[in-house]
Chain A
Amino acid sequence: MYISQDKRRTVQRHGLIFAFAIFLVVVSFSSPEFVTPGNILNVIRQVSITGMIALGVTFVVITGRLDLSVGSMLTFLTVLVVDQHNQVGPGLAMLMTLAAGMLIGVVNGFFVGFLKLNALIVTLAMLSLLQGITLFYSGGSNVNVDNAQETWFGFFGRGELFNVPMPVWFFLGAAAIASFVLLRTTFGRWIYSVGGNESVSLFSGVQTRWVVLSAYLISGLATGLAAIIMGSRVMGAQNTIGQGYELTVLAGIILGGTSMLGGSGTIWRTVIGISMLGFVQNGLLLLGFPYYIQWLVTWVVIILAVWIDLAAKRGKVFA
């Protein structure tokens, strides 16, 4: 069951892309409208909210932690931005949303980074807390933007620039910035080093606690940005609008090949993983399958992607 060195490298670097390419070719033969610029932009617009959150969560995952609170956080922040839009106007509402997202991230980061509590449980507790806070804040009812036709708030979710929807610009722009931060700055190297080996980083003078806290802060900030796009696109929010996003986000990140153990992963992998989820969903719908078939396919794709990745790394199919 040993795979030769050459093949191993190729599979390791491009295995995911090959599988994805095959899928794209198959779908585009079966459905002519799949590979049109309009449809591709449409898919990227659909994944931009999940994708935006995933950019932030990637930082957390690279430090070897998890953030399961982003779904509830998205709900809360979307409700917040829509409701505050009616109270204090769009500009201030957006600032409040970003600040609230970062604050929640700091709380998560404090518990995980400083008190060294288990990240899964802390963010699970935060998920529950934020659901409660959302219901408390909204009183259980849906919120809507009052003057949806007049406000410039719609620009972020509904606007277009050079025929490309604004959410796509924001997502790709944020991805470029996040990628730059991770790969080209000292802070980015700290993120990798904390995920790679925490004690060594600590003894090398990296303030690991603060790095972990900042990773959660970035995750909160990214969720705040996603909430703005979501609120602007929908012009309203239900109390369940972000339910399940935390798992989709993780699925996308895992699919991209970022290790849950920390220390490795890149932004472009996350972008590819999240887009793959989007294209799989879109392709299956165009082929005429009901929407829930994508869940089954996602299961198979996640298992295959991670297994191939692992097998390539250890040079053996079975553990």
Chain B
Amino acid sequence: MNKGISVAGNNASQKQLGVLASDSNLHRTLHFLAENYIWIFLLLCITTFSFASPYFLTINNLGNVLTQGSFIGLLAVGMTLVMINGEIDLSVGAILALACALAIGLQESIGVWPAILVALLSGALLGFVNGALVALSGMHSFIVTLGGLIGIRGIVFIYTGEQALMVEDFSYTEYAEIYLGPVSITALIFFGFAALFQWLLSSTKHGREAYAIGDNIKSAHEAGIQVKRHKIINFVLCGVLAAMAGVLLSMRMGTAEPNAGKIWELWTIIAIVLGGTRLTGGFGSMWKTVGGVLTLAVLLNGLRLLNTPNYIELVVMGSVLILALVLDKLLASGNSN
């Protein structure tokens, strides 16, 4: 009954829209812009900060923004995949910390590349544990990965013994100093994975299935999609990407803090939702996520360059997030038929 009323309302509003934008091309353009509001918002932010601070629009600073955003970015690429499935992974920050600790802690005994491999495998294994628990037990991923967030942090503390680990051989940190023009290797890896996973989403069977499962898990199952296997694969990918971010962080810092990546899962969710991907699943893309990640990075960087006290960024972030949600709500109700 409620639905009937809202459908009728939308019909009326669409008729009005139709009168206003009789040119369907214009209508389509407007719709496209509304769908991709994050890029407009990003452009606005960049313009504002360029005028507000002379240091913002420099090649050097923009390169820095990309690097700073890439860690959350890699977490977000994996989590977007999981979120399109209608699931969530709260344990990415802890997986990042474990990979960071393993990459640094093991390299003395087994060498740099094997250590990195073990770190990435730890991410894959923990992702598999998360995915298998979600698929086999039928528990909600929020609960499973909330447990993971707490428990994996425990493993990090056990492994590091509460101490920050340091690299012995500082040539390890030089890997992070590889640049292509102003763009660091960290940022390149982030964009590479974002592009790869966008291709995965838009041009492969796995991608189509991801949307189908997020949209309606029951009909996806009835259409013959291996829902459980699919979800496990996505959690593994999410874990590997989180571990990748951890390895890159260890290269950049040269140390592994046991508390590294704490509450980054929340920032990751903020970036993704800001981009326009929905928590309910079945809707979203890597481009949206890249937009959200960059916007977040630009906002943080710009506000810091303006010397605003650090509480401003927290307040701005909270407000922007609620705005994004309201906007998405309006868009969703406009699209529903």
Provide a sorted-by-A list of 6 A–B residue pairs whose CB atoms are within 8 angstroms. Answer: A128-B317, A128-B321, A134-B311, A243-B263, A302-B147, A307-B139
* Interface SS of A by simple majority: helix
Q: How far is the CA of A318 from the CA of B138 in the complex (A)?
A: 7
CB of A319 closer than 8 Å to a CB of B: yes
On whether the beta carbons of A115 and B144 are closer than 8 Å, the reply is no
CB of B20 closer than 8 Å to a CB of A: no
Give the residues from 86 to 144 in chain A that come closer than 8 angstroms, CB to CB, to chain B.
Answer: 111, 115-118, 120-122, 124-129, 131-136, 140
CB of B104 closer than 8 Å to a CB of A: no
B interface residues (Cβ-Cβ under 8 A, vs A)? 1-2, 133, 135-140, 142-144, 146-155, 157-158, 162, 263, 266, 269-270, 273, 279-280, 309-315, 317-319, 321-322, 325-326, 329
**CB closest residue in chain A, given B324:** A121
CB of A241 closer than 8 Å to a CB of B: no
Min C-beta distance of A80 to chain B, whole Å: 15
On whether the beta carbons of A310 and B321 are closer than 8 Å, the reply is no
Q: Given contacts A124-B269, A125-B322, A310-B139, is CB(A132)–CB(B311) below 8 Å?
A: yes
On whether the beta carbons of B319 and A129 are closer than 8 Å, the reply is yes
On whether the beta carbons of B314 and A129 are closer than 8 Å, the reply is yes
Picked from B2, B147, B152, B309, the residue with its CB within 8 Å of the CB of A135 is B309
**CB closest residue in chain B, given A66:** B142
On whether the beta carbons of A294 and B154 are closer than 8 Å, the reply is yes
Q: How far is the CA of A92 from the CA of B138 in the complex (A)?
A: 49
Q: How far is the CA of A104 from the CA of B153 in the complex (A)?
A: 30
On whether the beta carbons of B146 and A310 are closer than 8 Å, the reply is no
Q: How far is the CA of A132 from the CA of B320 in the complex (A)?
A: 14
On whether the beta carbons of B148 and A299 are closer than 8 Å, the reply is yes
Q: Given contacts A296-B151, A310-B139, is CB(A118)–CB(B158) below 8 Å?
A: no
Q: How far is the CA of A196 from the CA of B317 in the complex (A)?
A: 33
CB of A29 closer than 8 Å to a CB of B: no
On whether the beta carbons of A295 and B157 are closer than 8 Å, the reply is yes
On whether the beta carbons of A306 and B139 are closer than 8 Å, the reply is yes
On whether the beta carbons of B322 and A251 are closer than 8 Å, the reply is no
On whether the beta carbons of B139 and A133 are closer than 8 Å, the reply is no
CB of A298 closer than 8 Å to a CB of B: yes
> Which residues of A are found within 8 Å of B269, using beta-carbon distances?
120-121, 124
> Which residues of B are found within 8 Å of A117, using beta-carbon distances?
322, 325-326, 329
Picked from B133, B157, B270, B280, the residue with its CB within 8 Å of the CB of A124 is B270
Q: How far is the CA of A133 from the CA of B329 in the complex (A)?
A: 27
Give the residues from 276 to 306 in chain A that come closer than 8 angstroms, CB to CB, to chain B.
Answer: 290, 292-300, 302-303, 306
On whether the beta carbons of B149 and A260 are closer than 8 Å, the reply is no
On whether the beta carbons of B146 and A250 are closer than 8 Å, the reply is yes
User: Interface digits, A180-205 against B, CB 8 Å rule (1 contact, 0 not)?
Assistant: 00000000000000000001001100
On whether the beta carbons of B321 and A135 are closer than 8 Å, the reply is no
On whether the beta carbons of A132 and B318 are closer than 8 Å, the reply is yes
**CB closest residue in chain B, given A128:** B318
> Which residues of A are found within 8 Å of B154, using beta-carbon distances?
292-299
Min C-beta distance of A160 to chain B, whole Å: 32
Q: How far is the CA of A122 from the CA of B326 in the complex (A)?
A: 10
> Which residues of A are found within 8 Å of B311, using beta-carbon distances?
131-136
> Which residues of B are found within 8 Å of A297, using beta-carbon distances?
154
On whether the beta carbons of B151 and A115 are closer than 8 Å, the reply is no
CB of A17 closer than 8 Å to a CB of B: no
On whether the beta carbons of B142 and A260 are closer than 8 Å, the reply is yes
Q: A117-B329, A118-B325, A260-B142 are in contact. List 7 more A-B contacts (CB 8 A).
A: A111-B322, A121-B269, A125-B321, A127-B266, A127-B318, A128-B314, A131-B311
CB of A226 closer than 8 Å to a CB of B: no
Min C-beta distance of A1 to chain B, whole Å: 11
Min C-beta distance of B207 to chain A, whole Å: 24
CB of A21 closer than 8 Å to a CB of B: no
Picked from B136, B143, B150, B315, the residue with its CB within 8 Å of the CB of A129 is B315
CB of A3 closer than 8 Å to a CB of B: no
Min C-beta distance of A116 to chain B, whole Å: 7
> Which residues of A are found within 8 Å of B326, using beta-carbon distances?
115, 117
On whether the beta carbons of A260 and B314 are closer than 8 Å, the reply is no
Q: How far is the CA of A132 from the CA of B321 in the complex (A)?
A: 14
On whether the beta carbons of B157 and A292 are closer than 8 Å, the reply is yes
**CB closest residue in chain A, given B91:** A299
Q: How far is the CA of A115 from the CA of B322 in the complex (A)?
A: 11
Q: How far is the CA of A297 from the CA of B266 in the complex (A)?
A: 23
**CB closest residue in chain A, given B279:** A118
> Which residues of A are found within 8 Å of B319, using beta-carbon distances?
125, 129
CB of A26 closer than 8 Å to a CB of B: no
> Which residues of A are found within 8 Å of B310, using beta-carbon distances?
135, 140
